[in-house]
Amino acid sequence: MNHHFMAGQEITFTKSLYDHWQRRAARFLLWTRMTCSGVGQIPESGPAMLTPNHLNWKDIFVVSAMIARPICFAATKELFDTALCRKMLDCYFDQYIHKPILHRMIHWFNVRLAHFLVSRVTNSGAFPVKRSAHDRSFFAEAKVSLRRHRLVCIFPESGTEVPDRLRSFKLGAAKVVHDLYYEGMRRIPVFPAGICGTKRLYCPAMRIKFQVASPLFIDDFMQNSEKKTLNEFTCALRYAVASMIDYS
């Protein structure tokens, strides 16, 4: 039976599952040379947003392990449907495996892996986003999580970085806090974050750096039009992230 996430349904945390996930994330980093700074600024409770650059799938392990409180991640919609998740896994492994017999083994394994991933993602507080289309449900689900005083993590590049270049940031993070500003939630802190080192192949003693900068607030960027406000805020957000990594 496929798991499906319906837009508007309540997102709930399974705390024991999240704690288990966080321990696994910490073990992943156990043998790395990890440098971390600025995470103490993130409040222990209340609505907040984290906006790191995105190098690799390992970024989620870094963020989860370094921040104590549970995090709502914006996750690709394929991780909420077992059939779509299996197809995504098949496409990924097909790039690297060329022997037919191994293809059959991997496809069999991906059926089980897809069920495993989807069952856990749907209970971790994550919410789905579409990678290739404008998706209004993303804004709705991010705002629901912030109204419930949760910490939301959004990768504003809307995809992993191209080699040695930070992508343009999408306006989604700015739009979410802008809309909530007019609901009376005027001081939601948005923390720019920089991740370095995760694009390399995992190996013991690899160097990883995670930095969190001072928060930005949408009410400090209000202009005479919504478009100008979103652009000003997003440019400031990208500049702050770029200043923490090795390129702009």
| pLDDT above 80 (res 16) | no
pLDDT at 227: 95
Q: What is the mean pLDDT of residues 99-111?
A: 81
Task: Classify the C-alpha dihedral 192-196-201-203 as positive or negative.
Answer: negative
Q: What is the mean pLDDT of residues 34-45?
A: 90
Give pTM, 2 decimals. Answer: 0.76
Q: Cα(75)–Cα(78) distance, rounded to whole angstroms? A: 8
pLDDT at 4: 39
pLDDT at 29: 66
| pLDDT above 90 (res 209) | no
Angle at 114 between CA 109 and CA 116, to 5 degrees: 95
pLDDT at 87: 87
Q: What is the mean pLDDT of residues 87-111?
A: 80
| pLDDT above 70 (res 178) | yes
Q: Cα(128)–Cα(11) distance, rounded to whole angstroms? A: 11
pLDDT at 22: 66
pLDDT at 11: 40
| pLDDT above 70 (res 199) | yes
User: Between residues 160 and 230, which one has the greater pLDDT?
Assistant: 230
CA 53 to chain centre: 9
Segments in the chain forming alpha helices (H): 15-28, 59-66, 82-94, 100-121, 136-147, 172-181, 226-242
Average pLDDT, the chain: 81
Q: Is the distance from CB of 78 to CB of 90 less than 8 angstroms?
A: no
Q: What is the mean pLDDT of residues 48-58?
A: 86
Q: What is the mean pLDDT of residues 26-43?
A: 80
- Domain 17-78+129-242 fold is Glycerol-3-phosphate (1)-acyltransferase (3.40.1130)
pLDDT at 133: 52
| pLDDT above 70 (res 165) | yes
Q: What is the mean pLDDT of residues 140-160?
A: 88
pLDDT at 247: 55
Q: Cα(111)–Cα(82) distance, rounded to whole angstroms? A: 8
pLDDT band at 78 (very low <50, low <70, confident <90, very high): confident
